[in-house]
Chains A and B, each alone.
Chain A
Amino acid sequence: MSEHTQNPKAEAAVYLKTLIALLVLTAITVGASYIHFGSGAANVVVALTIATIKATLVALFFMHLLHDKPVNAIIAAAGFIFLGLFLMFTLLDFDTRDNLQPFNMHPQVTTPTPAPTAPEHR
């Protein structure tokens, strides 16, 4: 509404540039997936970094967060921050468990609760 003081043509140009940037980044991320960056983790970091840049472009321009009321950006950021906390502590737990109990590294010894096997075909 009134916060949109830009003229429509300039706005359409911004959207088009955003789309082009997103398509270029998609090409880059597909290309990067064929390159080996030293380790598997490095490839994950590269792919997720590009994905995050793309997501930010979508949120800022297509979802209008850049020129919108800050409260919407705060709500959006809160969602991602809590997701980040969830992910961080879960993976921390996952990593440190193995370090504290080295025998956990061997799946033959662990797997205390094997996934319930399927009953025979009924």
Chain B
Amino acid sequence: MSTSPVDLQHDPHGHGDDGHGHDDPHHQHHFTTMEQQFDTSKIGMWLFLATEVLLFGGLFVGFGMMQARFPEQFKEAHEHLQRPLGALNTVVLLISSWTMVMGVLSARTNQRKKLVIYLLITILCACIFLGVKYFEYSHKYEEGLLPGHYYSHHGDKIPTVNGANGYATFFSFYFMMTGLHGIHILVGIVLLAWIAVRGNRGEFNSSYYTPVDLVGLYWHLVDLIWIYLFPLYYLIS
């Protein structure tokens, strides 16, 4: 905290070379330098993100298989999703990713006020995203476009064969994948609020901003998953 940011910028290797002689309260004793501590946290975060990729990946593969099995039904089911809303949510999430990265930059350059403002805009974008999602979900609910055997939509072109309903399968995947993504957005809002509060207290500076950076990585991954969800669900027909 008391370390001058100017010193760090001009003398990146000047701190902690001997493992002593620095008074950053965030520095844990089992790390030689703050940089090593930061890099270690980051590797841990990336490992977690890799498991997230695989978690969603399984669902994407399942979706691909079912698309291959019920091509006609999937194509028709796509038509029930509203492209403008999907595109709106994509833009909202991309902007939130930008405000997030600007927040990380603000934390690293000791701009406390800017950090909090950027984080609040990010949270706002996340709430808009969930609001649009709520609107979409309630619309699907009203039309009976629900997963599995809750599917009760009428007027589909292709009849169900031996209980294998491609439409219901499509909406099972739709709700599972966008739902899991939505839960990630909710978790993201909680995390963003947490670092916004800490940032407002002035806990982050150029020598310690690990939580901001890691929450940023998480938030970008959530955005990255949506980048694939959007074309697969809304655009392909």
Q: Is A103 an interface residue (CB 8 A)?
A: no
For B236, list chain A residues within 8 Å (CB): 33, 40, 43-44, 47
- Most chain A CB within 10 A, of B39, B162, B164, is at B162
Q: Is B54 an interface residue (CB 8 A)?
A: yes
For A12, list chain B residues within 8 Å (CB): 102, 105
Q: How large is the interface on A (under 10, 10 to 19, 20 to 34, 35 or more residues)?
A: 35 or more
Q: Using a Cβ cutoff of 8 Å, how many contacts connect chains A and B?
A: 159
Q: Is B237 an interface residue (CB 8 A)?
A: yes
- What is the CA–CA distance of A1 and B220 in the complex, to the nearest angstrom? 19
For B220, list chain A residues within 8 Å (CB): 58-59, 62-63
- What is the CA–CA distance of A33 and B91 in the complex, to the nearest angstrom? 16
- Most chain A CB within 10 A, of B50, B101, B149, B163, is at B101
For A43, list chain B residues within 8 Å (CB): 235-237
For B223, list chain A residues within 8 Å (CB): 58, 62
- What is the CA–CA distance of A107 and B61 in the complex, to the nearest angstrom? 21
Taking the closest CB of chain B, its distance from the CB of A107, in whole angstroms, is: 5
Quick one: closest B residue to A4, CB to CB?
B108
Tell me whether A26 and B162 are in contact (CB under 8 A).
Answer: no
For A79, list chain B residues within 8 Å (CB): 49-51, 53-54, 57
Quick one: closest B residue to A80, CB to CB?
B53
Q: Is B173 an interface residue (CB 8 A)?
A: no
Interface string of A51-70 (1 = CB under 8 A from B): 10011001101110000110
Interface string of B65-107 (1 = CB under 8 A from A): 1001101000100000001000100110011011011100100
Q: A83-B54, A114-B162 are in contact. List 16 more A-B contacts (CB 8 A).
A: A1-B35, A12-B105, A15-B105, A19-B95, A22-B94, A29-B235, A30-B83, A47-B232, A48-B232, A62-B100, A63-B220, A72-B43, A75-B43, A86-B61, A107-B161, A118-B148
Q: Which residues of B contact A (CB under 8 A)?
A: 8, 12-13, 34-35, 38-39, 42-43, 46-47, 49-51, 53-54, 57-58, 60-61, 64-65, 68-69, 71, 75, 83, 87, 90-91, 94-95, 97-98, 100-102, 105, 108-109, 148-149, 161-165, 207, 216-217, 220-221, 223-224, 227-228, 230-232, 234-237
